[in-house]
Amino acid sequence: MKFRKFHFPLFIFIVISCINVLSSSALKPSDKYQSLKSENVNFNNNNDEYQCILETPDPWDPTIPKKFFAANLSSCYSKYQTLSSLKDGYIKIDLNLAKPNTTCQWQCLIPDDIENTYTKSEWHELKDQSICDVIKVRCYTNENPDEQYYENLHVQIIPKEISQTLKLLSSPNNNGTPLYNIHIFVIDAVSRSQGIRFLPNTINYLENEMKAVHFPFYNKVAWNSWPNGDAFLFGHSRPRDNIPPSIMKNLCDNQSFSKHYFGNILQDLGYANLFNEDVYSIFENLNVTATHKLAPLGAELKKTAKYKETLFYGDHCISGLDYNIEIFQKFIDAYGLSKPKFSLNWNSQTSHDQFNWLYVADDILLKFIQKNKKELDNSYFILMGDHGPNVGEHRFSHETIALEERNPMFYISLPKDLRKADNPIVKNLKANKNKLIAHYDLYATMADIAESVGAEIPIDTTFHGKSFFKPIPDGRTCGEMGISPMYCNCRYKKANLTSENPLYQKILDSIFSKMNETIAPFTDICVVPLFSSKFQPIMKEIFYPGTTKTLKIYQVIFETLPDNGRWETYVSVKFHYDWIEIQNFLNLGNRLNPPWAKRCSNTIRDFCFCKS
């Protein structure tokens, strides 16, 4: 085979997580959690070949390489002397640790409405009180004011007067429903199986002490965080893959974050609203007008040399999860039990690029939930992943792990006084949990919650899913839910397409041709990977609902040089009388996440990696 230039979207994320004290640990399989199979099957074309079999990956599959179960991070011992502390808006300096003749100052990092930008205030003296959420501190000796020897970041929540809150608290609520809090905690790239393996104590507490309901067949709807977040935060479906409508329903809506995000809807009602990300760019160019935002902290950290050189934040032995938990706790404390709150807490750095680092979060999350049980007993609380692990060698090391990518973790706990077994909401939750459920359904559920506390849902809202709190029909399929075959939890029959078949080479040529066409205008700055003959491409026909003898779907896996990246995509093939038509799905992914790759074009940010 000749070498062909082509390009595919590479999805690269920076690894930066390690938490306080990390130690070696052996995971213990639980008999409670094995592979689950749903009776909620769907038959298509009156042919068993097209049956949607819902079966979760087995978290303890004995054929998975043991290294992916090993929790063996090295312990982190802090070498950092913290001179500064923050209380009630005032920065205090430990003079016993500071250098002689020292001056220290602070400045506010003020988030703009657009999520990935922020403004720095002027430098203030220690006698001044701060009212911002994220504060930067610097210290220098008076003999050498141009060289600071100390720098740190602090977070706080100074409660704000929200006029709508006073009105909300003083007026009768719809049907007398209490003003429950809503808290969502997302751990990026965590599958159901990873949660079971690495968060056993947290999950056990949620299920037994807070009666949380586990949705084992929860399905992502897209490749990475942005479109999945769009789906459950404001019900939006991004432009779809190039998939025939007979195979997947095309979803259309006019949803916008500013108008349809439930944090904004509840904030307009009078809820205090926290947007708590440990990185600043999960959702680009969003108009985030939350009461409080952590966003500038992640942006500021990425500027430091220490951030780039180590898995830790300098020598602090803290990570994004520590900051997430700290500001979440301060948000709860600042507004107390009497004022209604909404929070979106999104942690990206603990698990995104490392398959087996999540275990360090178990103790942190458990202690936080236990400490705040009174708050959470008056809340809808969701612990979830946005998608499963989709980068790294584990993605192609084992079929079971590959399936986890589609199956994010999902647990929901109701307010305590709604947990009674005879509550119709509880009955519907338990009836729906073993069905095919996706992010669009969570958005519909959030609409039910928001309406129950008196919020008005925009009349132009399009719902692509169904609420967990209401009956959901049996026999749902990914196609009718607008989910690509690339991401579907259903196990459909597959058949190998061998290299002897003329279609095999035509599919490869089609993929390369389309990617070369996409990257051609950017070859002056972008590296163009080459086809690697070291790996024999794998192609499989998928017996998917909507396919026929003249319309088929194929999964394609191959490798490239010089990155030795392994890629996966799907194509549809339509057979005409004397010719064939091949359509590439738009979504491709390099699951090996080459470390050399660096984006240098926003226009095709998932396609382009810098030549330099």
Burial state string for 198-223 with b = 16 or more CB within 10 A and e = fewer than 16: bbbebbebbeeebbbbbbbbbbbbbb
Which of 451, 476, 491 is the C-terminal boundary of a domain?
Answer: 491
Angle subtended at Cα 359 by Cα 590 and Cα 200, rounded to the nearest 5 degrees = 115
* pTM to 2 decimal places: 0.90
Backbone torsions φ then ψ of 506, nearest 5 degrees: -65, -35
Give 392 or 4, the one with higher predicted confidence: 392
Which of 470, 491, 512 is the C-terminal boundary of a domain?
Answer: 491
Tokens encoding 107: 């400045």
Answer yes or no: is pLDDT of 43 > 50: no
pLDDT of residue 312: 41
Of 56, 29, 49, the residue nearest 490 (C-alpha):
56
Structural domain includes residue 175: no
CATH code where residue 199 lies: 3.40.720
Query: What CA–CA distance (Å, rounded) separates 275 from 415?
Result: 21
Structural domain includes residue 245: no
CB 346 within 8 A of CB 261: no
In a shared domain, residues 486 and 568: no
Give per-residue pLDDT as tens, 451-466. 999 999 999 999 999 9
Structural domain includes residue 448: yes
N-terminal to C-terminal alpha carbon distance within the chain = 29
pLDDT of residue 519: 80
pLDDT of residue 556: 94
In a shared domain, residues 430 and 359: yes
Give per-residue pLDDT as tens, 418-451. 999 999 999 999 999 999 999 999 999 999 999 9
Structural domain includes residue 548: yes
Percent of all residues in the chain with a pLDDT value above 90, rounded to a whole number: 58
* Identity of the amino acid at 249: K
User: Rounded to whole angstroms, what are the CA distances from 87 to 92, 152, 180, 254, 301?
Assistant: 8, 15, 29, 44, 22
In a shared domain, residues 473 and 498: no
In a shared domain, residues 498 and 546: yes
Neighbours of 187 (CB within 10 A): 28
In a shared domain, residues 419 and 470: yes
In a shared domain, residues 209 and 232: yes
Supply the mean pLDDT for the chain: 84
Which of 433, 457, 491 is the C-terminal boundary of a domain?
Answer: 491
Give per-residue pLDDT as tens, 206-247. 999 999 999 999 999 998 898 999 999 999 998 776 889 999
Give per-residue pLDDT as tens, 75-132. 667 777 789 999 999 999 999 999 999 999 999 999 887 656 789 999 999 999 999 9
Structural domain includes residue 366: yes
Structural domain includes residue 468: yes
Neighbours of 243 (CB within 10 A): 24
CB 343 within 8 A of CB 331: yes
Q: How confident is the model at residue 36 (pLDDT cuts 50, 70, 90)?
A: low
In a shared domain, residues 349 and 480: yes
Percent of all residues in the chain with a pLDDT value above 70, rounded to a whole number: 81
pLDDT of residue 163: 75
In a shared domain, residues 547 and 478: no
β-pair partners for 408 = 191
Number of domains in the chain: 2
pLDDT of residue 75: 67
Give 74 or 551, the one with higher predicted confidence: 551
In a shared domain, residues 349 and 200: yes
pLDDT of residue 609: 67
- Looking at residues 323-327, what average pLDDT do you find? 94
The boundaries of the domain holding residue 546 are 1-15+493-612
